[in-house]
Each structure stands twice: as C-alpha cells, then as structure tokens.
C-alpha cells in the first residue's frame, strides 16, 4: 500500500509538470512557429487551464519530500514507480484476495491428488472382490443398475404417447416443479428402454415452460425422441396432425380397460399433479375432445391393491414402456407400481395402527371396531380438525367431577362447619364470636367470618 501511494504521488507530479507555466510557454512557442492546429482548445478552455495551473503546486514542491501517511502513521518516503508493476486495466489484488486465490489453487491440486488416490483404492477393492469371488469366499453381487441398451437391440414401438400440459392453471407452484421432474423421469426411462415410445408434449406454455426455459436452461431442447409444441390437442386434431379415431385418453375414471397397445395409435396422459383434487378431469377432457378413453388393467392384475389407481405421469409412461418390451401387463404393472400402493390396508389402516400403538404405549384401553367404515373415521377427523382452537384469553378449567363426588364433598363440608360451630360455642361469653357460614350454589363452603368484641381487647391492654 505504501508503494502504491507513492506511485500515485509520482503520477500526479508528472501531470502537474505537464500543466506547469513553463510547459505552457513551450507549447505557445511551438504554436507560433507551426501555426494553430485544429486540436487546440478554445480561448475559454485555455483560460480555465491557466487558472487550474496557478492553483496547483509546482512539481519541485512534491519531489524529494516525504508523503504524509494516513491515520496518523509515520511519513512515508517517496519511492520510484519502476519497482511496482502496475497494470492500467487490472487492479492489484488485496492481501485477502491473494490469500483466497492461493488457497483455491492449493485446493485444486489437493483435489486432483485426492481423486487419484480414490481411483486407486476403488481399483484395489474391485480386485480384492474378484479374488474373493474366485476363491468362493463371496458371491458375486447382482448389479441393479439399468444400463443403456445397444443400438442394435433397440426396437422403437410404432406408436406415440402425448403428455397434455393443458392444466397449468390448476396447479400450485410446487406441483409445477414436481411435474417438471416427472417429465425428466419420462425422458430418462425412454433412453434406457429397448422399445422406446416417442413422446409429444402439447400445450407447452405457462409456468412450466418458463421454468424449463430459465431454471433448466432449455435442456429439454436436447432431449431426443421427446418434442414440445405450444399447440393444443384441439389444434393438432383440426390441422390433421393427429387422427381422432386413433387417439385414446388414459384415465382411471373410464369404464373401458386396455387389453393391448395398438401400433399406429396415440395414447394421451393428462400431465397434472393435483393430489386427486379434481374429479373426472381427464375423463371430461376426453369427452370434450370426442376421443376414446380407457384405463390400464391395474385392477385385473393387481386385485389385492386396495388403494387408489391414480398414478404419476412417469409411472403411467413406465408401465407402457414395460408392456412394449415384454407384452405382459402383470410384469409391467408389478415392476413399476410403487410398493406403498401394494401394502395391505393402505394409509387409513396404517393410521389406525399408529393410533392403536400410541394408546397401548400410554396404557389406554384399545377397542377395535371392525364394523366401522373408513368414511366415518375420515369424517370424524375432518370434524375434529374444523373445531376452533381456544383463544389465549380463555382460561383453562379443570375437568368436572361426577355427581357422586360432588355430594360426598358437600357432606364433608357440612360436617366441618358443624364442628367449628361447636368449638366456638364453648368459648367464654366475654369474647362472643359470631360465625357466619354460607354455601354457594355449587355446595362449596365459603370462608367463616368471625367478629370479636373490641372492648375486651382494649380492657386487657389497659
């Protein structure tokens, strides 16, 4: 910093030397000899330069004098600028910035060394495992990683799946993010399938399109086999891109069941994340478009599943891909179906089991009501959740006792009052006490008030 301040002082001194009266006189002589040039300043500007020059100190006053330091430090001797390499474009790094830069460089070197050591250890572990497997000490593990198939084994299915994105206004912001993730999962499943089904996303607009174009940096434009169009289903049907007779809308509300996927047909999946808030949404959409509708044969091949048949977008597409590979609905559905839907009882039975466990842990009596329906319990839970919470100003009251307990308490209080009256009657007549007892409406005894004669007390004091 000291060298930098001295360099700035030297630079200012050079500028003052250029604008000194002696230098101005030399330039004036050169002008008289060569004549005025087009680059000369106007008379007003020259006058202002002369005024500024008179106000500045001569260069001799700055040379060979110490430069005053800041904050009361000792004077700093003038130094030459040749010892400091100063770049006009880039400012010099501060002490902290230089430390951070050196630390980052050291971390990069250390990271490369660490990665090399990790690779060597990984190779060593693999060699040791192969040796143990060869000696029969360990069974070779089965890899569960799904690998991308070779180009020769891939046979695309002659059909198409449409993801209709026309429900942007019906979703919350977090549901739009979830739908974005489901689209990425669909593309990933198509990449690793040996019978990929091309995907077409219609009505690509709104918050989903904005997110995929900004947050996701338009990565969807590089997805091969998956295209996006802003046109709606109605527009694609009207212009002849889609044939109305070969379109099937997949919805769990339909009474029709798909037996097999037909080549040359288009199957539509309603791309929405709504937690089943909107009933018959895709079914009504298919009726509006005047196209066929059907549901997957989940109930036929998974009759033991008691939960809802509503699946996510990527799960429906995965089932279609699995069927295209194996032509077996049972294998396709059982492989893709989430395990939580295959568990016996579902969420409501789990909720009952948790309540029973909590009561048992608290020592309460657990009464199982097998005849109660799930709907009644759900209504009771909803009614309990709708009850208003007590206000802060409202005082908490103790639980009320039974009528038998209240009558026993009254009898005890009456006996206590009679005993007190008998004790007061045995006192001398000089200090007569007047007991006053009153019972409240609830039968509780109030405090007994006594009045003593002040005259006896005064006489004893005298």
Known catalytic residues? Answer: 274
pLDDT of amino acid 138? 81
pLDDT of amino acid 289? 94
Say what the pTM is: 0.50
What topology does CATH give the domain 160-342? Alpha/beta knot (3.40.1280)
If we measure between CA atoms, which residue out of 243, 215, 236 comes closest to residue 164? 236
Question: Is residue 294 within 8 Å of residue 254, measured between CB atoms?
Answer: yes
- Residue 272 makes CB contacts below 8 A (sequence gap 6+) with 167, 170, 171, 179, 278, 281
pLDDT of amino acid 405? 66
pLDDT of amino acid 300? 86
How do strand 247-250 and strand 226-228 relate by DSSP bridges? Answer: unpaired
- Token pair, residue 40, equals 């000369």
- Cα–Cα distances in Å, from 259 out to 290, 297, 300? 21, 7, 10
**What CA–CA distance (Å, rounded) separates 31 from 411?**
128
Say which residue the tokens 């050169």 belong to: 30
pLDDT one-digit tens code per residue, 212-254? 999 999 999 999 999 999 999 999 999 999 999 999 999 999 9
Percent of the chain's residues with pLDDT above 90: 39
pLDDT one-digit tens code per residue, 343-352? 655 566 667 7
Q: Is residue 257 classed as helix, strand or coil in its secondary structure?
A: strand
The Cβ of residue 83 has, within 10 Å, a number of other Cβ atoms equal to 9
**What CA–CA distance (Å, rounded) separates 456 from 86?**
109
pLDDT of amino acid 276? 83
Domain extents in the chain: 2-83, 160-342, 409-461
With a cut of 70, list the residues of the chain below it in pLDDT. 1-4, 15-90, 142-147, 151-152, 305-307, 341-350, 359-405, 427-462
| Rg, C-alpha atoms of the chain | 46
pLDDT of amino acid 2? 66
**What CA–CA distance (Å, rounded) separates 41 from 35?**
14
């Amino acid at each position: 910093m000291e060298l930098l301040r001295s360099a700035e002082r030297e630079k200012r001194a050079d500028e003052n030397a250029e604008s000194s009266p002696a230098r101005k006189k030399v330039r004036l002589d050169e002008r008289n000899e060569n004549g005025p040039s087009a680059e000369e300043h106007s008379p007003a500007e020259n006058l202002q330069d002369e005024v500024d020059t008179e106000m500045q100190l001569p260069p001799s006053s700055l040379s060979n004098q110490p430069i005053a330091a800041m904050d009361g430090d000792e004077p700093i001797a003038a130094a030459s600028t040749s010892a400091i390499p100063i770049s006009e474009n880039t400012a010099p790094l501060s002490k902290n910035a230089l430390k951070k830069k050196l630390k980052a460089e050291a971390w990069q070197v250390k990271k490369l060394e660490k990665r090399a050591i990790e690779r060597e250890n990984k190779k060593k572990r693999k060699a040791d495992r192969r040796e143990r497997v060869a000696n029969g000490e360990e069974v070779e593990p089965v890899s569960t990683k799904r690998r991308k198939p070779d180009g020769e084994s891939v046979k695309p299915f002659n059909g198409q799946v449409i993801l209709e994105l026309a429900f942007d206004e019906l979703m919350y912001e977090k549901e739009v993010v979830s739908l974005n993730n489901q689209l990425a999962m669909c593309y990933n499943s198509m990449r690793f399938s040996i019978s990929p089904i091309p995907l077409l996303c219609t009505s690509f607009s709104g918050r989903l399109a904005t997110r995929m174009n900004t947050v996701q940096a338009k990565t969807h434009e590089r997805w091969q086999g998956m295209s996006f169009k802003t046109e709606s289903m109605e527009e694609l049907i009207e212009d002849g891109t889609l044939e109305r007779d070969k379109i099937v809308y997949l919805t769990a509300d339909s009474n029709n069941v798909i037996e097999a996927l037909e080549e040359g047909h288009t199957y539509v999946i309603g791309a929405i994340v709504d937690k089943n808030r909107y009933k018959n949404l895709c079914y009504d959409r298919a009726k509006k478009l005047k196209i066929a509708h059907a549901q997957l044969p989940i109930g036929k091949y998974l009759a033991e599943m008691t939960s809802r048949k509503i699946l996510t977008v990527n799960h429906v597409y995965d089932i279609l891909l699995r069927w295209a590979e194996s032509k077996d609905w049972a294998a396709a559905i059982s492989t893709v179906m989430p395990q939580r839907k295959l568990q016996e009882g579902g969420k409501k039975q789990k909720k009952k089991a948790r309540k029973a466990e909590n009561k048992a842990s608290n020592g309460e009596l657990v009464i199982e009501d097998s005849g109660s329906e799930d709907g009644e319990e759900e209504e009771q839970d909803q009614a309990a959740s709708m009850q208003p919470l007590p206000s802060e100003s409202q005082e908490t009251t103790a639980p009320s006792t039974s009528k038998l307990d209240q009558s026993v308490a009254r009898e005890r209080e009456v006996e206590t009052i009679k005993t007190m009256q008998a004790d007061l009657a045995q006192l001398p007549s000089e200090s007569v006490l007047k007991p006053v007892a009153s019972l409240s409406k609830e039968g509780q005894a109030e405090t007994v008030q006594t009045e003593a004669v002040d005259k006896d007390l005064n006489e004893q004091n005298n």
